[in-house]
Structure 1
């Protein structure tokens, strides 16, 4: 008969339960404190992305704080210049929203008539069955809501404030350089844990900066290509749509659908026939398909490929918690979790789930490769 304490038998279950409670509490904090947590996370991602440039300046003999100030000033100037350049076309698009709505209503009148016929038929069927759902004859009061863009100014002001917080945090992280990493490493209790913490920090920095810099360059090129193509096609404000396409392309899978839908609705209002209007979203979707299936996998390689299900769930969850900004940061956060899972044995199974499925040919090639040397194999000890 075992002399083990009964409480020790349930210890693994207790640990899993406590870990689940911890995750729930973290999710609650992330959701309800998003005005604080979101700009902090954005600032960390920006710092990780621009850290190679600061390190390059340090190798050239430029002090870190000066290099960080130059990099962040240049980054902020580029963002401000892009926003200022696009403010005119964006204002024009916003002002033309009523005309676009009227044109859509006119050109889609046949579809609208069919929908109204269906609605009348359903109302008649409800009256026959006595389920009219009118609340006992209660009058329906229709309250005219505010215009679509009434709260746009306050939303933009709040977003600019959060962006400013993120940029200042990134500036502080980049200016102190190694001190930020050293402060995190010192919290690890043992020497092995410190080594793993250092490896995780530098791997996260390398992978996140590589991913975000590469994706940003790809999306900018994609936006320029879409803008030029729509300009040749005769679309109004083509380069604004190119900028929107570049921004939406940070959203895997759903960004292209949203962009094609927006361009399609605008094109229906602008072009004389539906056949010519469909050319604009087809151009948009064709270019994004080439980018997503050929260019991005070629430049990023298989190392940063993710499980499609994990990416989709991550985008949905972060969009639910933080809105559009959360959806934009979903994949970089997933990259951070993937790097941590690759370096911590207790998270290996989660890392395997995040990784892209391995095809039979790749698995066979991996099995024929020689094993790693012992020094490398033991570098990923569990925390």
Structure 2
């Protein structure tokens, strides 16, 4: 006769879920408050994963790993420095012209302001008719901080974090095997060690492919946007093309932010609203073509992710780490997807991260597996 379960054993699954939820909250708190340390480390790991195929190529042709890593990171740093230097002039011009842009926007939108004032007078008259006084109501004045000045100070404040990420990437690339061996040794059993090796190399392969492909796509998008705006007559087309390439690392949100920002600048620059609205239309059309045709064609279905999961990831990491966190949201999600595909206990989470196309591909495979498990029907007795 089996003994009845104790109250503790009955509530044990609920206790485990509660402890897991508390653990996730504590991890999120640590990630949020220690972002100055964790964020550059995560950025360095992502950069190392991205550039690791180049270091491995150098090792195959006989270049020592440390020297190949030094060459790759030096070239990468020079490209970043060259890009920042080339953008400094157009960015400074844009910052200096901010007062003129604001004055031009106020002038162009004066008719809209007149309509808003008319609506306000109508609402006040309606309030007087209904017996409500509008004298005690608070007026909301939108007077935001200088966006470009805040952006410049933020860029200057992240130089140290970028340096930490660059040096960490250099150390990982120059000691790739030792880094992987150290992680594998932490696994307790031989099976866990094999899973850890498979996860590490899958993460490196998938993340490097994803980031390199997305970077090339975004560079092409930036060139297309810059050239189109140059033909249209927009000032600083190189700057806006670069902004388009950077914002395109933010799925869904980046295109909206870029179209809105360039639309406001175009309203202040072009003489009519019709010509100004053509600028964000061009911008958004380019990003739509890229997002719906180019990226799915080049990345393939394996790297497609659940739209809801991508959007939630961008929002959460953007809330915790700001713009840099939003940029790293999708690569972090790709890493979690690879881990979920290799760890059985995380398979349900991996199914959530997968796109509907991947689920359709998995369904026939799972049905065939079930048929194999059932086996052929038994033979009838003679």
Contact 1:123 1:132 in 2 (8 A): no
C-alpha RMSD over aligned residues:
2.6
**In structure 1, what is the equivalent of residue 2 of structure 2?**
2
1:233-273 per-position Cα deviation (integer Å, ceiling 9, x unaligned) = 10000111000000000010111111111111111111111
> Pairwise mapping of residues 220-259 of structure 1 onto structure 2 (< 5 A)?
220-259=219-258
1:20-58 per-position Cα deviation (integer Å, ceiling 9, x unaligned) = 111111000011111111111111110111111111111
CA distance in 2, matches of 1:248, 1:147: 20
SS of the aligned residue for 1:62 comes to coil
The TM-score with structure 1 as length reference comes to 0.89
Contact 2:187 2:193 in 1 (8 A): yes
SS of the aligned residue for 1:129 comes to coil
CA distance in 1, matches of 2:212, 2:27: 29
Cα offset, 1:227, TM superposition:
0.3
Cα offset, 1:60, TM superposition:
1.4
CA distance in 2, matches of 1:339, 1:195: 15
Cα offset, 1:126, TM superposition:
5.5
CA distance in 2, matches of 1:359, 1:169: 35
**In structure 1, what is the equivalent of residue 50 of structure 2?**
49
Q: Identify the range of structure 1 (153-162 vs 27-36) with the bigger mean alpha-carbon deviation.
A: 153-162
1:97-136 per-position Cα deviation (integer Å, ceiling 9, x unaligned) = 111111111111111111223334445555741464358x
1:339-366 per-position Cα deviation (integer Å, ceiling 9, x unaligned) = 0110111111110000001389756765
Cα offset, 1:275, TM superposition:
1.2
> Pairwise mapping of residues 258-273 of structure 1 onto structure 2 (< 5 A)?
258-273=257-272
CA distance in 2, matches of 1:181, 1:360: 31
Consecutive unaligned residues of structure 2, counting only runs of 5 or more, are: 374-382
> Pairwise mapping of residues 364-379 of structure 1 onto structure 2 (< 5 A)?
366=365
SS of the aligned residue for 2:357 comes to coil
**In structure 2, what is the equivalent of residue 297 of structure 1?**
296
Cα offset, 1:12, TM superposition:
3.0
SS of the aligned residue for 1:16 comes to helix
Contact 2:301 2:357 in 1 (8 A): no
**In structure 2, what is the equivalent of residue 36 of structure 1?**
37
> Pairwise mapping of residues 73-92 of structure 1 onto structure 2 (< 5 A)?
73-92=74-93
Aligned length: 369
CA distance in 2, matches of 1:27, 1:154: 27
Q: Identify the range of structure 1 (271-280 vs 245-254) with the bigger mean alpha-carbon deviation.
A: 271-280
